[in-house]
Structure 1
Amino acid sequence: MMKKTIPTLTAFAALSTLSGIAHAQSSVTLYGLIDTGLEYNSNSKGARQYSAASGNLQGDRWGMRGSEDLGGGLTAIFRLEGGFNVDNGTLGQGGALFGRKAYVGLAGPYGTVTLGRQYDPLGDYVGGFESANDETLVTATEWGSIYGAHPGDMDNLDNSYRINNAVKYASQNYGGFTFGGLYSFGGKAGEVTQNQLYGFGAGYRNGPLALGVAYEKAKDPNYSVFGTNPNANTSASTSALNMSSPVYSGFASAGAWQVISAGAAYKIGNATIGGVYSNVAFQNLGSEAGAGLNPSHLHGTASFNLGELNFTYLVTPALQLGAAYTYTRGSSVGSISGATYNQINLGANYLLSTRTDLYLVGIYEHASGEDSTGKKAVAAIANLSSSSSNSQTAVVVGIRHKF
């Protein structure tokens, strides 16, 4: 018995050692975030609304990320991340299991290449300078909430719209300087360019200073950008309207969507001052022939200029206050004179621990002029039902826990 047992234990110890080596060379991490609270909307299509709300500061999520050391400085990586609504348990992003991110790739000494459903360069390089960004790294923590995004998140700095079928490159960090690009295949047989998207960006961080710039262009944006979730209709031969915000829904017939964006932030002691500029153009209006996509029979280009100034201050290591002002001006096109949107974001965030925090956010928006539908512009705070008037106020209070 003793002679049989000792070799068995020795073999088990050897296997355990090998298992330890394998574990050191590869890893898989399960992570997530749960965010819920109470929300007030002063005008939801004409009525006040009080409701429970999920994913306020950041979208609720769970995911897995992993890596394997392949040797020679090369690492295989993957990430699967899904969104959900904690208040009712349903999946986010139109019912996608991994609607936030789903990619696999290789990382090496010259950068990282990934393939799958991913964020675009706008969010990667400029989004962090917006007060509402879903994954900002500029300030101590996110404070502006998803409702503080630019009208309709038309410049996608809040990562509302993921890009399917994408190949993405991200450089290494060279003394604070990073850069990268993304290309998305349209995926339609016989059509090389339909629904395609490409973009690139660069960033610089050194001490208190952070800078970012990005450019992006997509063909058939009603489908390739605003219609990438499973519940959207991605066929350009139909009349599916995926661009839901009245700020730009009247431009769903655009043949292309182009965004040029830049951001900057500077930290002075416990304060951070930041700013963002975006130019968004819905080009070649009338190119999509689906019935109902061009009710105003528009042609040419509709453009928007957006500017944001924001300020955050760490009162204590646990308490952060923030304020931001956003100005959005739409150009005239056809018979539409264009609309102007003024928005103020105010927020407070209190850390109970490194993983749990409480927040209070208030948003006010005022609209004037004519919106994309040719009607008198109404306030339309991002991710809320539009107002029936030219003003709208939202207040949300809640708790967020990261694991």
Structure 2
Amino acid sequence: MKKSLVIAAAVAATFASASYAQSSVTLYGVVDAGFTYTTNIGGKADYAMTSGNVQASRWGLRGVEDLGGGLKAIFTLESGFDVMNGRQNGSLFNRQSYVGLSQAQYGTVTFGRQFDSVVDYVGPLTAVGTWGGTYMAHVLDNDNGNATFSLNNAVKYTSGNLSGFQFGGAYAFSNQAGGFANNRAYSAGMSYNYGGLRLGAAYLQAQGLDRGNAGGAIVGAPLVGAINDTYRQRTWGAGASYAYGPMVGGVVFTQSRLSASNNAARFNNIEANVRYNLTPALAIGGMYTYTNALGNAIDSGTGSRSAHWNQFGLQADYALSKRTDVYLEGVGVWGAGQNAVGLTEVGYTSDGGISSSKNQGIVSTGIRHRF
């Protein structure tokens, strides 16, 4: 009898251990902090300790449970924060918070706060979405390449890898009774990888952004309110990159359109970027972006207005280990047209960080640690 109980207990312990081994929760994150010099803020230079110069500082929890037959339950909870004061950037899990199911052959379905398809499929071809970081975002991050906002109330599908081809899309609900289109969004995209070649394209549309629905798909998007009574924002983009030995280069085009009852604005962005590993530890990179903005019937019926910007960025990055690196980068923006940097031609209201002239330069250096 005692022998039988011992055997039963051993079997139960074995199955419990196996079940435990099939589930995991990982703590991960990025801590990025340094010093930044910025010109032309209120007509003066700014010297500041800053957080998230290359990558937004963040921490998160990622979990996987094996359900058998190749099916897995997954979740991600991710929060951005400011290293300099320890504060969260908004809500607790302001970057991502989702749960879903994943199967290698059929793809992944997730529910919650998530990134849109432009971030997923076009972002990885840009400097800001890979090595360049925050300051190399296109003017005002008008195409969300820097993931300035996420989609709330979203259902998202990502396919499996089909011989290098992958596609996906998301629909973010307004969650408002009687207002199905009051602040909703949807996006779709695709990518293809073959050897060193990588291609990507995506589309994002948000509607009803002027309806005052704070519980809807997008809250605090950078261009919402850029023109009076904005009700629709559409962004699309496509690009390619190619890796050859220690070098990788890419080109990207994106366009963002805002529409309202009597106003409209359009941003076009063309970017070229390249990064080269001089040694296994030292890499240098450069990027150039040309952006133009066209506004129609802006500023109380003043008619069409336009502006354009030339943006250059350089970066040197040295890896102290696999997880820790130090960097030095500089970014310059030169504008032309009607108040090109202040963006009054599209009614943009700055928070004090936008240049007080048509030009602005930033030099930043710091340390980044991944865990």
Do both proteins adopt the same fold according to a TM-score greater than 0.5, normalized to the shorter chain? yes
Report the Cα offset of residue 11 of structure 1.
7.0
Q: TM-score, normalised by structure 2?
A: 0.90
Report the Cα offset of residue 252 of structure 1.
4.7
| Equivalent residues in 2 for 1:202-217, closer than 5 Å | 202-217=190-205
Does structure 1 residue 28 correspond to structure 2 residue 25?
Answer: yes
Deviations 1:285-316 (A, max 9, x none): 23xxxxxxxxxxxx243111110001110101
Q: TM-score, normalised by structure 1?
A: 0.83
- Describe the SS at the equivalent of 2:345: coil
Whether the 8 Å contact between 1:222 and 1:243 is mirrored in structure 2 is: no
| Equivalent residues in 2 for 1:247-286, closer than 5 Å | 250-283=226-259, 285-286=260-261
Sort the Cα spacing of 1:60 and 1:11 in 2 relative to 1 into closer, same or farther, 3 A: farther
Q: What's the C-alpha RMSD, in Å, of the aligned pairs?
A: 2.6
Whether the 8 Å contact between 1:170 and 1:181 is mirrored in structure 2 is: yes
Q: Which residue of 2 aligns with 1:313?
A: 276
Report the Cα distance in structure 1 between the residues aligned to 2:40 and 2:119, rounded to whole angstroms.
Answer: 29
Q: Which residue of 2 aligns with 1:111?
A: 107
Report the Cα offset of residue 203 of structure 1.
0.1
Does structure 1 residue 330 correspond to structure 2 residue 293?
Answer: yes
Give the alignment partner of residue 355 of structure 1, picking from 315, 318, 323. Answer: 323
| Count of matched residue pairs | 360
- Paired residue type of 1:330: A
Report the Cα distance in structure 1 between the residues aligned to 2:182 and 2:31, rounded to whole angstroms.
Answer: 37
- Describe the SS at the equivalent of 2:296: coil
Does structure 1 residue 99 correspond to structure 2 residue 130?
Answer: no
Sort the Cα spacing of 1:121 and 1:223 in 2 relative to 1 into closer, same or farther, 3 A: farther
Sort the Cα spacing of 1:62 and 1:377 in 2 relative to 1 into closer, same or farther, 3 A: closer
Report the Cα distance in structure 1 between the residues aligned to 2:100 and 2:228, rounded to whole angstroms.
Answer: 33
Whether the 8 Å contact between 1:314 and 1:320 is mirrored in structure 2 is: yes
Report the Cα distance in structure 1 between the residues aligned to 2:290 and 2:210, rounded to whole angstroms.
Answer: 24
Q: Which residue of 1 aligns with 2:85?
A: 88
- Paired residue type of 1:121: S
Whether the 8 Å contact between 2:149 and 2:221 is mirrored in structure 1 is: no
Sort the Cα spacing of 1:305 and 1:244 in 2 relative to 1 into closer, same or farther, 3 A: closer
Report the Cα offset of residue 235 of structure 1.
7.6
Report the Cα distance in structure 1 between the residues aligned to 2:46 and 2:211, rounded to whole angstroms.
Answer: 31
Deviations 1:186-226 (A, max 9, x none): 111101111111110000011110000001111134689xx
Sort the Cα spacing of 1:160 and 1:252 in 2 relative to 1 into closer, same or farther, 3 A: farther
Q: Which residue of 1 aligns with 2:344?
A: 373
Report the Cα distance in structure 2 between the residues aligned to 1:384 and 1:366, rounded to whole angstroms.
Answer: 18
- Paired residue type of 1:386: I
Whether the 8 Å contact between 1:351 and 1:357 is mirrored in structure 2 is: yes
Report the Cα offset of residue 373 of structure 1.
2.4
Report the Cα distance in structure 2 between the residues aligned to 1:58 and 1:10, rounded to whole angstroms.
Answer: 53
Higher strand share: 2
Report the Cα distance in structure 1 between the residues aligned to 2:160 and 2:203, rounded to whole angstroms.
Answer: 20
Q: Which residue of 2 aligns with 1:153?
A: 141
| Equivalent residues in 2 for 1:121-136, closer than 5 Å | 121-133=117-129, 136=130
Give the alignment partner of residue 192 of structure 1, picking from 162, 180, 186. Answer: 180
- Describe the SS at the equivalent of 2:155: strand
Q: Which residue of 1 aligns with 2:364?
A: 396
Q: Which residue of 2 aligns with 1:229?
A: none
Report the Cα offset of residue 374 of structure 1.
3.1
Out of 271-280 and 167-176, give the one that drifted further.
271-280
Sort the Cα spacing of 1:235 and 1:180 in 2 relative to 1 into closer, same or farther, 3 A: closer
Q: Which residue of 2 aligns with 1:234?
A: 214
Deviations 1:338-358 (A, max 9, x none): 111110011111111100001
Whether the 8 Å contact between 1:36 and 1:52 is mirrored in structure 2 is: yes
Deviations 1:73-104 (A, max 9, x none): 22111111111111111001x2x111111000
Report the Cα distance in structure 1 between the residues aligned to 2:278 and 2:164, rounded to whole angstroms.
Answer: 28
- Paired residue type of 1:264: A
Q: Which residue of 2 aligns with 1:37?
A: 34
Sort the Cα spacing of 1:7 and 1:264 in 2 relative to 1 into closer, same or farther, 3 A: same
Whether the 8 Å contact between 1:369 and 1:377 is mirrored in structure 2 is: no
Report the Cα offset of residue 12 of structure 1.
6.6
Q: Which residue of 2 aligns with 1:173?
A: 161
- Paired residue type of 2:214: T
Report the Cα offset of residue 270 of structure 1.
1.4
Report the Cα distance in structure 2 between the residues aligned to 1:217 and 1:303, rounded to whole angstroms.
Answer: 14
Does structure 1 residue 74 correspond to structure 2 residue 75?
Answer: no
Query: Any unmatched runs of 5+ in structure 1?
Result: 137-141, 225-232, 287-298
Report the Cα distance in structure 2 between the residues aligned to 1:159 and 1:74, rounded to whole angstroms.
Answer: 29
Report the Cα distance in structure 1 between the residues aligned to 2:348 and 2:70, rounded to whole angstroms.
Answer: 55
Sort the Cα spacing of 1:222 and 1:339 in 2 relative to 1 into closer, same or farther, 3 A: farther
Report the Cα distance in structure 2 between the residues aligned to 1:39 and 1:306, rounded to whole angstroms.
Answer: 25
Query: Any unmatched runs of 5+ in structure 2?
Result: none
Report the Cα distance in structure 2 between the residues aligned to 1:207 and 1:185, rounded to whole angstroms.
Answer: 38
Whether the 8 Å contact between 2:174 and 2:215 is mirrored in structure 1 is: no
